[in-house]
Chain A
Amino acid sequence: MSKRAIIALKVLVHFLCLVPFAWLVHSYNSGALALKADPVNYITHFTGDWALYILLACLAVTPLRRFSPKLAFLIRFRRLIGLYAFFYATLHLATYIILFSGYDIVMVLNGIRTGQPGVIIKEWKIVWPPILNDLLKRRFIQVGFFAWLILLALALTSPAFIMRAMGGKNWQRLHRLIYVAAIAAVIHFWWLVKTGVRTPWKDTAVLTILLLARIAFTAMKRLRAKPALSTRTTKS
């Protein structure tokens, strides 16, 4: 694939990954978001859904690539897609910490404008106890936060110079945690919905297929390797 085509595709990937965010910003600007009955609930679910969708898209890169050598170029988009998954996961977390907690942004912004930045801390002191309580008590919050921490570590180590500094093997070992993050994110979803609600089944099915594809690929590679070994033993 030519360099030009790769650049064009990268622009396209950026564009596609930004569409949900642009939609959210548009809904905010048009006032449609504020007209919703429970905007905070909507934003939380919207950003959480897209974090998971894009994380799954990122995990789909490698299995897709294996279908054909012609698809090898897809690897060049993996980091980009992964960083967007982190972007939406961070928006999701920020929605929870800033909006869901009841942090009064309007008052804080006014405080900053009128030269009273102390209000940032004052408001934070009000909302922090319930957040800490959630983090200590509620397992769906814990597992979701754990998934975000993994994505944070992967995002921080994503630049090429850090990869070189870490060494390919170490870097790969760390970045395999993306599977743990994806599994934790899906568990977060299941623990969040009410008993009986099956909304997360689609995300779960896609993740299962992507994980099975990897297991199948590894198994096939081993099977192919076997005859080579046996011929060697007969020779000796």
Chain B
Amino acid sequence: ADDLHAAPSQYTTTEPQTPFNKATTYNNFYEFGTDKSDPARNAHTLKTRPWTVQVTGMVKKPLTLDIDSIMKYRPIESRVYRHRCVEAWSMVIPWDGYSLSQFISFCEPLPSAKFVQFLSLADRKQMNLPGGFDWPYSEGLRLDEAMNPLALLTFGCYGQTLPNQNGAPIRVVMPWKYGFKNAKSIVKFHFTDKQPHTTWNDQNSSEYGFYSNVNPTVDHPRWSQARERRIDSTNSILPRFIPTQMFNGYSDQVASLYTGMNLKKYY
């Protein structure tokens, strides 16, 4: 990984960070295997250069962009975000990138575009792509969610370019949503007027909603979401439980996006 020069950001939590080795060895990146230790073991086969990103759908002009030009488009900021997995564990990770909104503005979506879909790489030559899933991985946001300044277009973490298992070379991070919303190794941004299909919602819609905002009052059918195991540098076999916060503690920034919405129905 190469060092990234990142400036500090106002959107940063001062909570103790998850050590680098834990954040890079405990990953959900099913393209490289379904066990959390698989991505760190298998993702070395991913080729992150050359890498192009397509911008398609309801945009002024479809584009094919080179990863390095996207990275240089705006200054990189370092943002320390809480990261809450739907599986009830959480980390605190310093991400490096710039606001997704800046990239979306560059893409010039048409006024009719209401959603943005992220499609990840699905290449059998580089990835395991286990059966039982409809690859490529697809995620999406309402356009106003994607334009929220917290949504981060991410190229690095811990001051260096993303390790492959963390979604190199380009991913998104939405800190107020469960981790699976953060599409990794993106090759396409597709703008549309209809809610895009998303991989985990396709797999099991009763367990993974389209919105998937962190919400301690809406249980996952198989476990409570009221609290989380914080993965930090404690190094104890006893888990450190903390209460889960609404919108993962980012209510001030994002709650207005959902005014009037029934968040139990739109989980």
Name which residue of chain A comes closest to B23, CB basis.
A37
Q: At the interface, yes or no: A208 with Cβ under 8 Å from chain B?
A: no
- Option from A38, A192, A199 in Cβ contact (under 8 Å) with B222: A192
Contacts of B224 in A (CB 8 A): 130, 133
- Option from B22, B130, B207 in Cβ contact (under 8 Å) with A37: B22
Contacts of B207 in A (CB 8 A): 194-195
Q: Digit string of A176-204 for contact with B (CB within 8 Å is 1, else 0)?
A: 00000000000000011111111100000
| B34 with A99: CB separation less than 8 A | no
Q: Number of B residues whose C-beta is below 8 Å from A?
A: 30
Q: What are the 5 closest A-B residue pairs judged by CB atoms, nearest first?
A: A37-B26, A196-B132, A37-B22, A195-B204, A39-B237
Contacts of A35 in B (CB 8 A): 235
Name which residue of chain B comes closest to A43, CB basis.
B237
Residues of A within 8 A of B (CB): 28, 31, 33-41, 43, 99-100, 102, 104-106, 130, 133-134, 138, 140, 191-199
Q: Digit string of B205-246 for contact with A (CB within 8 Å is 1, else 0)?
A: 001000000000000011110010101000111110100000
CA A105 to CA B134, docked complex, whole Å: 43
Identify 18 residue pairs between A and B in the complex whose beta-carbon atoms are under 8 Å apart, listed by A's number. Answer: A33-B237, A37-B18, A37-B36, A38-B89, A38-B229, A38-B239, A43-B237, A130-B224, A138-B221, A138-B222, A193-B34, A194-B34, A195-B204, A197-B34, A197-B130, A198-B130, A198-B131, A199-B35
Contacts of A40 in B (CB 8 A): 229, 237-239
Q: Digit string of B14-46 for contact with A (CB within 8 Å is 1, else 0)?
A: 000010001101100000001110000000000
Name which residue of chain B comes closest to A39, CB basis.
B237
Residues of B within 8 A of A (CB): 18, 22-23, 25-26, 34-36, 89, 130-133, 200, 203-204, 207, 221-224, 227, 229, 231, 235-239, 241
- Option from A34, A104, A195 in Cβ contact (under 8 Å) with B203: A195
- Option from A102, A138, A198 in Cβ contact (under 8 Å) with B132: A198
| A31 with B235: CB separation less than 8 A | yes
CA A130 to CA B222, docked complex, whole Å: 12
| Given A38-B26, A38-B89, A133-B224, residue A194 in contact with residue B239 (CB < 8 A) | no
CA A38 to CA B130, docked complex, whole Å: 23
Q: How far is the CB of B231 from chain A (nearest CB, A)?
A: 5
Q: How far is the CB of A96 from chain B (nearest CB, A)?
A: 11
Q: How far is the CB of A41 from chain B (nearest CB, A)?
A: 7
Name which residue of chain A comes closest to B235, CB basis.
A34
